[in-house]
Structure 1
Amino acid sequence: MTERRFRFGVVAATARDADEWCGLARRAEELGYATFLTPDTLDTLPPLLALSAAAAATSTIRLGTFVLSVANRPPQQVAWEVGGLGLLSAGRFELGLGAGRPDAERDAARLGVPFGTADQRIRRLEEVVRQVRARPGLTPGPRVLIAASGPRMLGVAARHAETVALGLPASTTEDGLAAPVHLLREAAGEGFDRLELSAGLHVVGDEVPPWLAERMGPDVPADSIAVLRGSPRQMADRLLRRRDAHQISYVTVNAMYADRLAPVVELLAGR
């Protein structure tokens, strides 16, 4: 059985210039985060280019997409670029994939590529994984994270991923984690113990920027899994209870909260 030790990741999307971007990556490394992650949208930095710059500015932190929209690039292109980034980062790259967040279809239209049906995107995601793992020089290849929430994607993630990022709304409560984790356990069978499970934080502390409050919506319960409040020890204890109950050990947070979560990272990372 795999021991689920805590990892923490910082998700950053944009910066005013290269110095600020590289500074974000270095700061995450200094604070003890395991990963520096970036999303895949046309309103943020190009993910693989941005992570190449972050790789050059750091030495130990791992770098990952969070997550690539599989509609935007041919599988062979992803494998080619992932191979290059794996080399340039000295093997620190982790490939995060998704079949398409709710607004990903708009980006595909702007790029002039077909978004496809849900079935087509899921098949493409599986082909991306196959191409990446079959590419010469990528043995054993990057760690693969797949974002999933519904039964079919959880099944795909169970078959192909090392990490499963539960793409759940901010309205999800602690008890609400039970159902998706149960589905994942059923899909993975004996392979469940090898999986790393991840859930992201939207807010750390009591201050919520207006733009983020609007995005999260009005129906965020007091025990939302996306919100972490209290002293560092209280926050750490809540994450420990979550791991005990639902096996979630990989925690991601927006870069704006990286310093605020750092005392929790110090308490739990690698434990």
Structure 2
Amino acid sequence: MNDRTRPFRFGVVAPIRSDLPTWRDRVRRIADSGYSTLLMPDVPTWQPTLGPTLATAAALTDLRIGSWVYAAALRDPLSTAWEAHSLSVLSEGRFEMGIGAGRPGIEVELGLPAVSPAERRTRMRDTVANLRKFDGPELHTPVVMAVSGPKSQALALEVADAATFVLPPDDDRVETTQRVRDFAAGRDLELAQHIAVIGDSVAPFMAPPDLDTAALHAADSLVVLPSDPAAAAEEIQRRREEIGFSYFVIGADFADTFAPVVAQLAG
């Protein structure tokens, strides 16, 4: 299937930012609203660790679950692959492994040695290779790779099932469109879009809270969607047709208000 004709699907990044009963209710509402995937960020010290939290979410609903995304700067390839495989087994094939290089400097902030971009890419490659060994011939855990420059894009084309582009807030829409089109011509991968802003609101864990939303709107940034459901649905359809994006990931704070868009487009 050509990327531009893939069915839409929608994921929600839903970290635990409340008491557990409230979070569990939120996860169930997300499932009832037609979203495909419940995702967790990989940010140490901010919330419970990703693996047990996703396993808990998988037991609550029939949603797919996923990491958005494992940060290679913080992760050992073997243990990360083991965790990802375990989540696939425990969720009966509903886990997808999102992996990326990790935010610049995140490891230093946590008191760890600095990890070069080249080493981060090596860890990403090794994690996927180990995951394939753990999975064996009977299981294939989907890999969503966060990419930016040519080297990470080449790696995704080689080993991933889907890709999401790490876009700067002031990304140029025309330039980004051409970059993603050129990338997608290399192989039939699912293309995911990380949405940090809806209207003028920034979702926690999706972007820095001091993000200049006015500048994003002025730049026609792809990390933004309109707050009006009809306009958002139209824009999402445009992005699939013109660029090839079919998997859209939003923050949990937007899940309820965005549900009409999901109801209209999902599947």
- Give yes or no for TM over 0.5: yes
Correspondent of 2:94 among 92, 95, 108: 92
RMSD: 2.3
CA distance in 1, matches of 2:17, 2:53: 10
Q: Is the 8 A contact 2:105 2:114 kept in 1?
A: no
CA distance in 2, matches of 1:10, 1:203: 13
Q: Is the 8 A contact 2:197 2:213 kept in 1?
A: no
Q: What is the TM-score when the length of structure 2 is the normalising length?
A: 0.89
Structure 1 match to 2:243: 246
Between the two proteins, the alignment pairs up a number of residues equal to 261
Greater displacement, 246-255 / 220-229:
220-229
Q: Does 1:158 align with 2:165?
A: no
Q: What's the offset of the Cα at 1:125?
A: 0.6
Which blocks of at least 5 consecutive residues in structure 2 are unaligned? none
Equivalent AA in structure 2 for residue 47 of structure 1: L
Query: For each residue in 1:108-143, what CA deviation from the matched residue of structure 2 results, as whole angstroms up to 9, or x when unmatched?
Result: x43x4x442111110111010000011155733211
Query: For each residue in 1:184-242, what CA deviation from the matched residue of structure 2 results, as whole angstroms up to 9, or x when unmatched?
Result: 135x2xx2xx2111112122234558996513466323322222225322211111111
**CA separation of 1:115 and 1:54: change in aligned 2, threshold 3 A:** farther
Q: What is the TM-score when the length of structure 1 is the normalising length?
A: 0.87
CA distance in 2, matches of 1:116, 1:204: 33
Greater displacement, 257-266 / 44-53:
44-53
* Percentage of identical aligned residues: 36
- Equivalent position SS for 2:65: strand
Q: Is the 8 A contact 1:83 1:138 kept in 2?
A: no
Q: What's the offset of the Cα at 1:72?
A: 2.1
Structure 2 match to 1:116: 115
- Equivalent position SS for 1:135: helix
Note the 1:1-271 alignment, pairs <5 A. Answer: 1-2=1-2, 3-42=5-44, 43-58=46-61, 60-106=62-108, 109-110=110-111, 112=112, 114-136=113-135, 139-185=138-184, 188=186, 191=187, 194-207=188-201, 214-216=210-212, 219-222=215-218, 223-229=220-226, 231-270=228-267
CA distance in 2, matches of 1:238, 1:15: 30
- Equivalent position SS for 1:233: helix
Q: Is the 8 A contact 2:16 2:23 kept in 1?
A: yes
Equivalent AA in structure 2 for residue 83 of structure 1: H
**CA separation of 1:20 and 1:151: change in aligned 2, threshold 3 A:** same
**CA separation of 1:86 and 1:136: change in aligned 2, threshold 3 A:** closer
CA distance in 2, matches of 1:263, 1:217: 23
Equivalent AA in structure 1 for residue 133 of structure 2: A
Q: Is the 8 A contact 1:38 1:65 kept in 2?
A: yes
Q: Is the 8 A contact 2:200 2:213 kept in 1?
A: no
